[in-house]
Amino acid sequence: MLRFRARLITILATASLLAAWTILPGEPASASVPGLRIFYGQSGFDSVDVKSARAYCPVGERVLGGGGMSLRQQGNQRPGLALVWLKPVHPTDGSRDYFYVYAAEFGVSAADSWEVLAQAVCAPDPGRRLDPVIIESRSPASSDGVRTAQARCPTGKRVVGTGATINHVNGQIALQMSRTSSTGDISRAQAHEDFNGYSPSWDVSSWAVCAYPPAGYEVATRFSVQGGSESSKNASAICPGTKRSLSAGAALSNQAPGEVALSDVILASDLRSAGGIAWEHSPTAQNWSYMLGQAICVNP
């Protein structure tokens, strides 16, 4: 824990914003939103090639959204690590809700020690005023290089949290999209095989936390400043005014090749902004255009 307390992680840089905050895994951070808090969990810090982390909600509270990030010893410089799972979970056995994150070594070797952090945005729901439900939509299985899925909310509800999972955690397939639509009716997921390809069949799931939309509900987006063949891109969407974000989303353009994947889909600890970071995990001269950062915002 002391090692985490000693770090300052600078993420989600945009043309007008460089958001920096301290991450304290395992402790809630005040979000200035009644009943809404963010919690953290972390994996071990070693050189294992696939690892996971869970961020748990307090007893009786519901997970509304979350995010995850992969971290190497050298801080932000972390090509070679890619997200493969971002999953909100509401257990049917009555145990605590949580947000589950997997990441894997991908492309460039990540033989040094690294870790995964998970974020869960949680709140009580007295009287079921939000009545969140978690919807999964799974793509058909195939050996195609790219797989997509979208989860649609029931009538009257909107996406308050997103997730995406590759149903084969092996380090050869990585996420390129986990976000909602601009109107918040569906959640979208996309994954891509690495540049060497992957011959067995595989599939991807999109996850949506669907709820009655809170006051002030809106989907904020911002595109990356970078728009060419840079080694990394980042994009952060800022909630307007006093609004706070329930979940983070990020997506690469359809031009992104198999060398490129998301390493972080994350929220600021004060819930004012959210978005993501992507890397060329193996160098490529191909132009992979922009990336998008997203925050699902509500009134405090």
Residue 249 near residue 193, CB atoms below 8 Å: no
Its sign, for the CA torsion 231, 19, 244, 63, is positive
pLDDT band of residue 29 (cuts 50, 70, 90) is very low
Looking at residue 73, its pLDDT comes to 64
Residue 49 near residue 70, CB atoms below 8 Å: no
Looking at residue 93, its pLDDT comes to 93
27 contact partners, CB below 8 Å, separation of at least 6? 39, 40
Strand partners, 284: none
What's the rounded Cα separation, in Å, for the pair 289 and 198?
24
Higher pLDDT, 286 or 76: 286
Q: How far is CA 54 from CA 17, 39, 92, 290, in A?
A: 29, 10, 17, 30
The secondary structure element, H or E, covering residue 105 is strand 98-105
Looking at residue 193, its pLDDT comes to 84
Looking at residue 169, its pLDDT comes to 65
Higher pLDDT, 141 or 219: 219
172-192 pLDDT per residue, tens: 888 999 999 999 999 999 998
Mean pLDDT of 158-175: 87
Residue 107 near residue 70, CB atoms below 8 Å: no
Residue 164 near residue 177, CB atoms below 8 Å: yes
Mean pLDDT of 121-139: 91
113-128 pLDDT per residue, tens: 889 999 999 999 877 8
Q: What is the mean pLDDT of the chain?
A: 84
Higher pLDDT, 137 or 25: 137
Looking at residue 199, its pLDDT comes to 67
Q: What stretches of the chain show up as alpha helix (H) in DSSP? A: 2-5
41-72 pLDDT per residue, tens: 999 988 888 899 999 999 999 999 999 998 87
CATH class of 13-20+27-298: mainly beta
- Counted residue by residue, the chain has a size of 300
128 φ/ψ angles, rounded to the nearest 5 degrees: 55, 45
Least confident of 124-133, 150-159, 272-281: 124-133
